[in-house]
Amino acid sequence: MFQIFGKWIYVLGSGAPELYHQALGSLKTSWIALSSTNHSQMVTMRWGDHCFNRCIYGEANATMSGVATMFHKNLSDHKGHMIRSCDGCLLWTDTFRNGDVTGRYILQFTRTGTMEQKDLEVFKQQVGCLNFPQNYHRSDEDTELCPDMEETND
């Protein structure tokens, strides 16, 4: 069985429309940590994004039904899917709405922050099938991940 809980490290992604794809350029590194709650269809999602030369942290509860997810982050409502795409990989498709503005992302996470070439080829096909920009964004290997304060307190 696919274990969704735990830490996932962003490897690459794409966004649409173009404005949101360009916004990924400010993201140097990112991680998400998913943990269970007392409610069977709710998970806690924490994240640490290294962008704009600083670490930005957040936390939200997400409702999950199968692979479908829904959560509220900042001023946006997000609906998406978390899918196992390769061994040790989590593919997240996300459509969000903030007022009258709608955008979408496809983000590839792995347990290690790296991907094999064969898995990269599958990701490229998924990006094309879902009509995302082909010039996908990659995590910056020279930028360290933001520290996870909950990990350091354990």
Tell me which residue range forms the domain holding 43.
6-140
pLDDT at 72: 82
Q: Is residue 154 in a domain?
A: no
Rounded CA separation 47/44 (Å): 10
Per-residue pLDDT, 99: 83
Q: Is residue 147 part of a domain?
A: no
pLDDT (tens digit per residue) in 85-121: 888 999 999 999 888 889 999 999 999 999 999 999 9
pLDDT in tens, 3-41: 889 999 999 999 999 888 898 999 999 999 999 999 888
Indicate the number of domains in the chain. Answer: 1
Q: 81 with 68: CB under 8 angstroms?
A: yes
Query: Does residue 69 lie in a domain region?
Result: yes
Write the pLDDT tens digit of every residue in 112-128.
Answer: 999 999 999 999 999 99
Length of the chain: 154
Q: Residue 71: in which H helix or E strand, if any?
A: strand 68-73
Q: What is the CATH number of the domain that holds 84?
A: 2.40.128.20
